[in-house]
Amino acid sequence: MIEQIVFDLDDTLLDTYRQLVPKATRDACLAMIKEGLATDLETALKACAEREMKKPRHDLFTSLVSRFGIREGADPLKVAGAGSQAFYNRKVETDIQLFPGTRELLGELREKGYPLHLVTQGHRPTQEEKIRILGLEPYFDSIHHVDPKQGERKRDAFSRVMARTKLTPMSYLSVGNRIDTDIAEAKELGWQTCWLRYGEYKHMTPTLPLERPDYTIENLKELPQKCQL
Ligand SMILES: [Mg+2]
């Protein structure tokens, strides 16, 4: 039986894919071109869109460098780094919004007695700013940050949730849009998992047994019924 629910933030509660990714991608391409990527903005953006269908973003910036090359005198590492920097370390727009109905859903789950936790991955100040703008803090019993650049993994945060609440692994449900982190790393601990198939990772198909979610939904609103909450 599910007793505790752990949510991811980007593309699970917040529509990052539509609200933040297009502008961040454009800024990243511009920064790379400025640093020496040998192409123009339109071509670079097209390459990003094509790639997304096949492979999500990790090492997008290095792959752009290999695909287009760099102008004479430029440093390939610096070009890729400029893209990553422009993409991840950004000021969060103040008009970001949760998926419609999310606030109500979180409220209902709390009313039903489920403690909720938030585990979010990314550049910490950016993630904190999103949480602040969205006013998410009151809904969650605990909030955990995971910065992959510091070698941190979601699994560590999931373990911290379990250490605090001390239930059997099957009592936890991880809800998120990435099968490699939100699903596989939760399943490593024996948790139940629900894959929200949305955003740039929705084309990924589970290859490892650990990446196979217990439940799959395409809209967060389906969660209570699907997982019998
Ligand atoms: Mg996410």
Same domain? 117 vs 189: yes
Residue-number span of the structural domain to which 59 is assigned? 21-88
For the chain, the domain total comes to 2
The stretch 215-227 carries a mean pLDDT of 97
Q: How far away, in angstroms, is 218 Cα from ligand 1 center? A: 13
48 lies in the same domain as 140: no
Q: 177 and 65 share a domain?
A: no
Q: Is residue 5 predicted with pLDDT exceeding 80?
A: yes
Q: Distance, CA 9 to ligand 1 centroid (Å)?
A: 6
For residue 204, the domain's CATH number is: 3.40.50.1000
Whole-number Å distance, alpha carbon 72 to ligand 1 midpoint, is 37
* Statement to judge: residues 82 and 190 lie in one domain: no
Burial of 228 per CB tally in 10 Å (0-12, 13-18, 19+): exposed
What is the pLDDT, as a whole number, of residue 46?
Answer: 94
The answer on 50 and 11 residing in a single domain is no
My answer on whether 120 and 180 are in the same domain is: yes
Same domain, 105 and 212: yes
The tens digit of pLDDT for each residue in 75-84 reads 999 999 999 9
Question: Ligand 1 mean position to 136 CA, how many Å?
Answer: 15
Residues 80 and 99 in one domain: no
Could you tell me if 124 and 145 are in contact, meaning their C-beta atoms sit under 8 angstroms apart? yes
What's the 69 CA to ligand 1 centre distance in angstroms? 30
Please tell me the distance between residue 197's alpha carbon and the centre of ligand 1 in angstroms. 10
- CA dist., res. 24 & res. 45, Å (int): 11
Q: How far is the CA of 178 from the CAs of 1, 113, 202, in angstroms?
A: 23, 26, 8
Last-in-domain residue among 61, 88, 115:
88
Summarize pLDDT for 114-163 with one digit per residue, the tens. Answer: 999 999 998 899 899 999 999 999 999 999 999 988 899 999 999 999 99
CA of 180 to the centre of ligand 1 (A): 11
Output the pLDDT for position 132: 96
Residue 201 has pLDDT above 90, yes or no: no
Q: Which domain-ending residue is among 88, 107, 138?
A: 88
* pLDDT tens readout for residues 30-57: 999 999 999 999 999 999 988 876 766 6
- Dist CA 36 CA 75 (whole Å): 8
Domain end point (choices 88, 105, 138): 88
The alpha carbon of 74 and the centre of ligand 1 are apart by a number of angstroms equal to 33
157 & 209 share domain: yes
Which residue bears the tokens 């629910």? Answer: 5
What's the CA-to-centroid distance between 178 and ligand 1, angstroms? 6
CATH number assigned to the domain comprising residue 38: 1.10.150
> From the CA of 8, how far away is ligand 1's center (Å)?
5
For residue 188, give the nearest of 165, 215, 158 by alpha carbon: 158
